[in-house]
Structure 1
Amino acid sequence: MPSDPTPRALARERTMARIVELGNGQLRDSGVAGLSVREIARGLGMVSSAIYRYVASRDELLTLLIVDAYEDLAAAVEAALAGAGEAPRARFLALGSAMSRWALTQPERWTLLYGTPVPGYAAPAETTNAPGTRVMRAVLAIAADGARATEGPGTPALAQSVTSLLDEHLAEFGVEADPATAARAVTAWSGLVGVISAHVTGQLGPDAVALGEDLLRPQIEVLAELIAPLCIAPR
C-alpha cells in the first residue's frame, strides 16, 4: 500500500500547480511569446535560480502547460459525454459542443494545442501523447459504436500504408473498429479541430465570431454525419 505523500512532496506539488497557474496567466495575457520562467519565479517570490529546481527551461514550462490544457479539455469533454446517453450521434454532438465551449472560453490554450507550432519547440511524445489523445480516443469509440449499430456512409479506398497505420492506432487505443471507420473518425476529428480553430482565430470574420456556438453547432452536426448519420439503414 503506497505511503502518504511527505510534507516536502506536498509542498512541491503545490508549487508545481502554482507554476502552471502562473504560466496559464502569462499565456492568457501575452501569448506564448510572453512565457517567462523568470517571471514565474517572481510570482512565486523566489530568486530566479530557485525556479529551475522545478522547471528547467521554457520548453519544460511549455510542456507543463500543454499537458495541463490537454487534460483540462479532455475532462470537459468526458464530463459532457457522461450526461449524453448512449446514442453515438448524441455523444458526438456533446463532445463537439464541449470542445467548442472550452475553446471559446480559453482561446489562448486552444491555440497552444492546435495553432501554429512554437518555433524551436518539439513536444515530448512520452509526456504529451497520452493526454493529447484522450479526446481522439473518444471520437474513435463513438465511430466504432456507430458503425456497429448502423450501415454507415461509404469511405474511399484506403492505401495499404494508411490501413496499416489506422490498424496500429486502433490497437494502441484499444478500440475495435475497421480502418474505414477509423478513417471517418479521423476526418470528423480533424474537421472539429479545423472549424473550431477557424472560429477561435477569427478566420470567418467578426460577424461570424459574434455568433459563437450558434455558428459552430450546425457545423458539428454536419461532421456528425461522417460517423453517426441521421438517415441510415440499420444493420
Structure 2
Amino acid sequence: MVEQSSQDESASGRPATPRAQARERTMARIVELGNAQLAECGAAELSVREIARGLGMVSSAVYRYVSSRDELLTLLIVDAYGDLADEVDAALATVDGEDPRTRFRALAVAMIRWAIAHPERWTLLYGTPVSGYDAPAETTNADGTRVIARVLEIAAASAGDPRRDLEISSEVAALLDSHLAQFSVDAGAEAGVRAVTAWSSLVGVISAHVFRQLGADAAAIGEQILATQVELLAELLTGD
C-alpha cells in the first residue's frame, strides 16, 4: 500500500528532495518487510531488529524510521486498512449506478477475496488484539473507516421496507448522530444501525471462514456459505 509518488512530489506540491525520496522508499521497504514478517510469524513476533537486518542496517539506524514495535504495527495496520479499502472502492467502481443490493454484494465479495488472499493481514485488523498494543485512532481512523463509510452510503441509498422500521432509543440515535457526522453521508439513525450491523456481521462471517471456526466440513464449502450469508446481510442492509 505504501507507494512512492509517481511525480516524486511532497505534500506541498513541490518536487520532493532526494533525501525525502530516499526516506519514502525506505518506509515503503519497511512496510514490505513488516508484511512479510507478519505472514511468517504473526503480529506478536514482529521485530524491528529483523526489519533492520532486512534493510541491511544496524538497529540504531532503523529506529530513525520506526521507533518501536508498536509504531511498526501501526504502519502495517494503516497499510492493510488502506489496501482493503482500495480493493472495495475498485469493486464498487465496477457497479457504479447499480442498485444498493448489487453494490453491497460487490463490496462484500471484495472483502472476502482480500481476506482469503491476506489472512495474516485480516487477522491483524480483525483477529485477537495484540497484547499491550492500542492502535492510535488519529493515525488509523482515516483508512480504518473507509469501508464502513461505503456501507453507510449504500444503506443511505436504500429506500428500506417500512414494515421493518426499527425502534431506536433516543440514546442510540444520539450516539449515531455524533458518529455519523464524521462520514459526511446524509443518513438517519436507522440507516446507521443497518450499516453498522451489516458491516460488523460481514466482518464476523468472513472471520469465521478465514479462521475456520465452523469446522473442516464447513471450510470445504465456505465460499458457498459466505454467498448465502452475504445475501442475508444485503437484505438486512437494504431492507428488501
In the superposition, the TM-score normalised over structure 2's length comes to 0.91
Letter matched to residue 95 of structure 1 = L
Structure 2 counterpart of 1:99: 111
Q: Which moved more, 1:37-46 or 1:177-186?
A: 177-186
The aligned runs of 1:113-128 (5 Å cut-off) are: 113-128=125-140
Structure 1 counterpart of 2:93: 82
Name the SS for the 1:16 alignment partner.
helix
2:36 paired with 1:25: yes
Letter matched to residue 80 of structure 1 = A
Structure 2 counterpart of 1:109: 121
Q: How well do the aligned residues superpose, as a CA RMSD in angstroms?
A: 1.3
After TM superposition, give the deviation of residue 209 of structure 1 in Å. Answer: 1.9
Superposed CA offset, 1:93-129 (max 9, x none)? 0000000000011111001001111111010010001
Q: Distance in 1 between matches of 2:191 and 2:65?
A: 43
In the superposition, the TM-score normalised over structure 1's length comes to 0.93
Are the equivalent residues in 2 in contact too, given 1:153–1:226 (CA < 8 A)?
no
After TM superposition, give the deviation of residue 217 of structure 1 in Å. Answer: 1.1
After TM superposition, give the deviation of residue 179 of structure 1 in Å. Answer: 0.2
Name the SS for the 1:184 alignment partner.
helix
Return the match for 1:178 from 188, 195, 199: 188
Name the SS for the 1:227 alignment partner.
helix
Superposed CA offset, 1:24-47 (max 9, x none)? 001101111221000000000000
Name the SS for the 2:168 alignment partner.
coil
Runs of 4+ in 1 over 4 A off after TM superposition: none
Structure 1 counterpart of 2:168: 158
Are the equivalent residues in 2 in contact too, given 1:66–1:113 (CA < 8 A)?
yes
After TM superposition, give the deviation of residue 181 of structure 1 in Å. Answer: 1.4
Q: Distance in 1 between matches of 2:231 and 2:165?
A: 19
2:233 paired with 1:217: no
Question: What is the number of equivalent residue pairs in this alignment?
Answer: 228
Q: Distance in 1 between matches of 2:147 and 2:235?
A: 18
Superposed CA offset, 1:150-190 (max 9, x none)? 53562442222211111122211011111011101111011
Letter matched to residue 216 of structure 1 = L
Q: Distance in 1 between matches of 2:142 and 2:163?
A: 30
Letter matched to residue 226 of structure 2 = L
Name the SS for the 2:161 alignment partner.
coil
Q: Distance in 2 between matches of 1:36 and 1:190?
A: 31
Q: Which moved more, 1:169-178 or 1:20-29?
A: 169-178
Are the equivalent residues in 1 in contact too, given 2:205–2:229 (CA < 8 A)?
yes
Structure 2 counterpart of 1:233: none
After TM superposition, give the deviation of residue 77 of structure 1 in Å. Answer: 0.3
Q: Distance in 1 between matches of 2:163 and 2:206?
A: 24
Q: Distance in 2 between matches of 1:153 and 1:197?
A: 32
Q: Which structure 1 residue ranges, 5 or more long, are not aligned?
A: 231-235
Q: Distance in 2 between matches of 1:30 and 1:196?
A: 22
Return the match for 2:143 from 106, 115, 131: 131
The aligned runs of 1:167-206 (5 Å cut-off) are: 167-206=177-216
Structure 1 counterpart of 2:217: 207
Q: Which structure 2 residue ranges, 5 or more long, are not aligned?
A: 1-11
